[in-house]
Structure 1
Amino acid sequence: MKRLPLAAAMAAFFIFLVWSVSVRQAALFAVGIGFGAALAGARFGFTTGWRQLVEQRDPSGVYGQLLLLGLAALFAMPLLGHFTELHPALGPPSVSLLVGAFVFGLTMQIADGCGSGTLYKAGLGVPLNMVILPLFALGSFFGSVQMHDWLKLGAMEPVGLVQAWGVGPALAATLVALAVIGILVRLWVGPGKPLFEKRWVWGAVALAVLATINLVIAGQPWGVVYGFGLWAAKGAQALGLFDPANNAFWSDAGNTQRLGQSALLDVTSITNIGLLAGALWISTRKPSSSKPLTPAQWGIGLVAGFVMGYSSRLAFGCNVGAMFSGISTGSVHGWIWLPMAFLGTLIGVRVRRRFAF
């Protein structure tokens, strides 16, 4: 698609949102475009960064993510401490979190993309991610339907560090923990490896600023997974295949409200749409290339995409909603998600290598 018609379409949709939905949703659409442009322009892949560390001992992607987390925490935690109308990305420590994060870390390597990675690569026109996107949404919906049963296996109340300790101690503890991870990564990769790469640095700065703007406008941190599950739930309900009144997750007052109104009113959905548009914009300048896949690779990748969606709901988010937004806003569940997902990645990169993706 040419840039001029695409720009015209994006501008027209922005005006439509301002006129027919709300100025806030139009602003969040613009923020989403920024997310997509930053992710695709910098090729800022959470999945790729972890895989490069494991397979190549290249720390630049992980250091970019640590920079992103640190900057976002510096911006978000003081805001959360001073404005009670802003909410952190809290999730309950639970069995579902442990299982979901581990499985997500495994399957994201096979599917070559987490939640945001699947979105921006689909926007870039990568065939596997384009097909995985609806399967991710379907998996996320199935995970939400069974969420209540998973929580019965064991769950604690969510813990927010800003609320429990105050802004200063929560921020200090977060930055120290990130620094410790950075030191451990540096010791593991050994000397001689460059720690920072330009694209990871500017991508981290851009995403941290955009995430802060998103927090202020939306009143909640950046998320991806909820929008996917909502789209699939709306589709299942429209087809008469699903009654939300009989499900613990979707009968919750907030979720029932979102099911009954336009997806354009959902803050996660609108930034997801913007993210796709932003990545599509980048694709007009930097087309993505991918090698053809065998039938076996397609099959394994698509199954991984569905399971990734399912596990993301069990884990209360993906690399964005659980790890990035969780850690940067002081949620303990984000710190549980991180090591469990990395353990899954250690297996996932081997499965990926086994099938020559």
Structure 2
Amino acid sequence: MQTISVSTSQRTVLFVALSALALVSYGAFLAAGPRHALATLIGGLAGLALYHASFGFTAAWRHLVTERRGTGLRAQFVLILLVSAVSFPLIAWGKDFGLPTGGFVFPFGYAAAIGAFMFGLGMQIGGGCASGTLFTAGGGSTRMMVVLATFILGSVLATAHMHLWGKLPKLPSYSLVQDFGPLGAFAITALVLGAIALLTIRIERKAHGRVLPARKTDALLTGPWSSMLGALLLAVVCILTFVVVGRPWGITSGFALWGAKVFYALGIPVDTWPYWSWQKGALEGSLLSDMTSVMNFGVILGAMAAAALAGKFAPVRQLSQRDLLTAIAGGLLMGYGARLAYGCNIGAYLGGLVSGSLHGWLWLLFGFMGSLVGTRLRLKLGMG
């Protein structure tokens, strides 16, 4: 049986995080019902898993380029395949069993390609993707709180121009599940991801002579976890989201709403912008009624609890000028880019692939290209 030793200050943080998670879940229940309350708790589980496994997309993509290590990328692929094995049948047949489920299937064009590239660039400069920003901010990172604030700002600024970006040419939406069925779509997804995984193994062996062993799980409650355990628990999060919410896990639409509500409260007429003109109810209503927002709150609080369990919740009050400026730039790029590209690494990349959508693959391509540029820029800026 595991013994937990946590200092008094960390116990206080843990109590605050769990109490806040319970209150948000109860508030979501009162505002919108049991599904929203459950979604909050699912977000809490996501925050715990993300923090303990350090499961981000930013570092994994960067390590493949700078260190020729593919462990993190392969863990992402395991996550995608675990979820797809359940989500593809749910999308195709869920309604027949009382579980109506929809995927994220969107057209992809110039605007989305630019947005995905911007996001990939921004996440390397900022030091975290959307999920990474949430769990590191919740874990006590002052710098990532700055990234989160500017991520929100970039998101709402993009909504002012979405009607203009939407005029650019785009490919029609395409669904593997619709054309090949759940089994065929899964086979194609597994084949492509498997081929990429084998390529990363070849790259790693060429650079190091062998595939480097992944970090092992030390303790379930206090962490750290292996990347594969993180992938397994996040797969549970994604599947629960499909069942409870009826769609893939998403993050960044909540950021746009948070920013728009701040603008609206300050007297900026965002309700007249085409993007928000049909969502005036969301602007005027409670954030606890917004499914994506309550899940985001859960991620932050779950990560805060995980950091306290690990004894690592210790915000730093001062930031260097470089850290501050790169946090601002990275957040703005990610926020703006995510709106153009139907979301982030979670909503567009993961959400797209587990929906069988072509746009998820194209997001991966252009997002990785942006990440390559961002990785080189990090090196020039001395960010490691």
Same fold (TM over 0.5): yes
Q: Aligned equivalents of 1:5 and 1:278: distance in 2?
A: 11
Aligned to 2:170, which of 146, 155, 169? 155
2:297 matched residue in structure 1: 273
1:249 matched residue in structure 2: 275
Return closer, same or farther for 1:144/1:22 CA change in 2, 3 Å cut-off. same
Q: Is the 8 A contact 1:64 1:196 kept in 2?
A: no
Pair 1:81 & 2:92 matched:
yes
Q: Is the 8 A contact 2:140 2:315 kept in 1?
A: no
Aligned to 1:71, which of 67, 82, 89? 82
Aligned to 2:262, which of 235, 251, 256? 235
- Number of equivalenced pairs: 354
Matches within 5 A, 1:37-116: 37-84=48-95, 85-116=100-131
Q: Is the 8 A contact 2:116 2:367 kept in 1?
A: yes
Q: Is the 8 A contact 1:36 1:275 kept in 2?
A: yes
Question: 1:20 offset after TM fit, Å?
Answer: 4.5
Question: 1:42 offset after TM fit, Å?
Answer: 0.7
Letter in 2 for 1:193: V
Q: CA RMSD in A?
A: 1.8
Question: 1:145 offset after TM fit, Å?
Answer: 2.0
Q: Is the 8 A contact 1:118 1:132 kept in 2?
A: yes
Q: Aligned equivalents of 2:68 and 2:315: distance in 1?
A: 23
Matches within 5 A, 1:24-43: 24-43=35-54
Pair 1:324 & 2:350 matched:
yes
Question: 1:260 offset after TM fit, Å?
Answer: 3.2
2:368 matched residue in structure 1: 342
- Per-residue CA distance 1:197-243 (angstroms, 9 max, x = gap): 44110000000111110111111110001000011111111211123
Q: Is the 8 A contact 1:95 1:151 kept in 2?
A: no
Question: 1:102 offset after TM fit, Å?
Answer: 1.0
Return closer, same or farther for 1:271/1:156 CA change in 2, 3 Å cut-off. same
Question: 1:126 offset after TM fit, Å?
Answer: 1.0
2:251 matched residue in structure 1: 224
Letter in 1 for 2:81: G
Q: Is the 8 A contact 2:21 2:44 kept in 1?
A: no
Match of 2:108, SS state, is coil
Pair 1:305 & 2:305 matched:
no
Q: Aligned equivalents of 2:36 and 2:160: distance in 1?
A: 27
- TM-score relative to the length of structure 2: 0.88
Pair 1:128 & 2:143 matched:
yes
Question: 1:119 offset after TM fit, Å?
Answer: 0.6
- Per-residue CA distance 1:317-342 (angstroms, 9 max, x = gap): 11100111110111110000001111
Q: Is the 8 A contact 1:221 1:325 kept in 2?
A: yes
Return closer, same or farther for 1:236/1:285 CA change in 2, 3 Å cut-off. same
Q: Aligned equivalents of 1:318 and 1:299: distance in 2?
A: 22
- Per-residue CA distance 1:106-153 (angstroms, 9 max, x = gap): 110110101111111100111111111111011011112211211212
Letter in 1 for 2:65: V
Letter in 1 for 2:270: D
1:212 matched residue in structure 2: 239
Q: Quote the sequence identity (%).
A: 35
Aligned to 2:203, which of 185, 188, 194? 188
Return closer, same or farther for 1:293/1:56 CA change in 2, 3 Å cut-off. farther
Question: 1:13 offset after TM fit, Å?
Answer: 3.3
Contiguous gaps of at least 5 residues in structure 2: 1-11, 217-225
Q: Aligned equivalents of 2:53 and 2:277: distance in 1?
A: 40
Return closer, same or farther for 1:8/1:243 CA change in 2, 3 Å cut-off. closer
Q: Is the 8 A contact 2:20 2:301 kept in 1?
A: no
- Per-residue CA distance 1:228-261 (angstroms, 9 max, x = gap): 001111111121112323x222223xx3332232
Q: Aligned equivalents of 2:357 and 2:314: distance in 1?
A: 37
Return closer, same or farther for 1:256/1:173 CA change in 2, 3 Å cut-off. farther
Q: Aligned equivalents of 1:3 and 1:210: distance in 2?
A: 21
Q: Is the 8 A contact 2:14 2:304 kept in 1?
A: no
Pair 1:314 & 2:340 matched:
yes
Q: Aligned equivalents of 2:204 and 2:24: distance in 1?
A: 46
Q: Aligned equivalents of 1:328 and 1:208: distance in 2?
A: 11
Q: Aligned equivalents of 1:19 and 1:249: distance in 2?
A: 28
Q: Aligned equivalents of 1:290 and 1:16: distance in 2?
A: 27
Q: Aligned equivalents of 1:18 and 1:266: distance in 2?
A: 11
1:169 matched residue in structure 2: 184
- TM-score relative to the length of structure 1: 0.94
